[in-house]
Amino acid sequence: RDGSEKEVPLIGEYRYSSSGQVGRTLYTDKNGEIVVTNLPLGTYRFKEVEPLAGYTVTTMDTDVQLVDHQLVTITVVNQKLPRGNVDFMKVDGRTNTSLQGAMFKVMKEENGHYTPVLQNGKEVVVASG
Q: What is the pTM of this model?
A: 0.52
Mean pLDDT for the stretch of residues 82-90 = 80
Q: Domains plus CATH for the chain?
A: 13-80 (2.60.40.10), 90-127 (2.60.40.10)
Mean pLDDT for the stretch of residues 18-39 = 76
* Phi, psi of 18, rounded to the nearest 5 degrees: -80, 165
108, amino acid identity: K
Interval 96-124: pLDDT, tens: 988 888 889 999 998 899 999 888 888 99
Query: CA-to-CA distance for 42 and 24, rounded, in angstroms?
Result: 16
